[in-house]
Chain A
Amino acid sequence: QQQVKQSPQSLIVQKGGISIINCAYENTAFDYFPWYQQFPGKGPALLIAIRPDVSEKKEGRFTISFNKSAKQFSLHIMDSQPGDSATYFCAASAGSARQLTFGSGTQLTVLP
Chain B
Amino acid sequence: EPEVTQTPSHQVTQMGQEVILRCVPISNHLYFYWYRQILGQKVEFLVSFYNNEISEKSEIFDDQFSVERPDGSNFTLKIRSTKLEDSAMYFCASRGDSLSYGYTFGSGTRLTVV
- A residues near B (Cβ < 8 Å) are 32, 34, 36, 41-46, 49, 89, 91, 93, 95-105
Chain B CB within 10 A, most for which of A43, A102, A105: A43
Q: A91-B43, A96-B98 are in contact. List 20 more A-B contacts (CB 8 A).
A: A32-B101, A34-B102, A41-B107, A42-B108, A43-B93, A43-B107, A43-B108, A44-B91, A44-B105, A45-B105, A89-B43, A96-B55, A97-B55, A97-B56, A98-B95, A99-B33, A99-B56, A99-B58, A100-B45, A104-B41
Task: A97 to B31: give the CA distance in the assembly, Å.
Answer: 8
Can you identify 20 A-B contacts, CB atoms within 8 angstroms?
A34-B101, A34-B102, A34-B103, A36-B43, A43-B4, A43-B106, A43-B108, A44-B43, A44-B91, A46-B103, A49-B102, A95-B56, A97-B31, A97-B50, A98-B95, A100-B35, A100-B43, A101-B45, A103-B42, A104-B41
**Closest approach, in angstroms, between the C-beta of B108 and any C-beta of chain A?**
5
Does the CB pair B102–A99 fall under 8 Å?
no
Interface residues on B, range: 20 to 34
CB proximity to A under 8 Å, residues B27-84: 31, 33, 35, 41-45, 48, 50, 55-56, 58
Q: Which residue of chain A has the shortest Cβ distance to B55 in the bound complex?
A: A97
Q: Which residue of chain A has the shortest Cβ distance to B58 in the bound complex?
A: A99
Does the CB pair A100–B41 fall under 8 Å?
no
Chain A CB within 10 A, most for which of B35, B42, B108: B42
Task: A96 to B58: give the CA distance in the assembly, Å.
Answer: 15
Chain B CB within 10 A, most for which of A46, A96, A99: A99
Task: A42 to B93: give the CA distance in the assembly, Å.
Answer: 13
List chain B residues, Cβ under 8 A from A49: 101-102
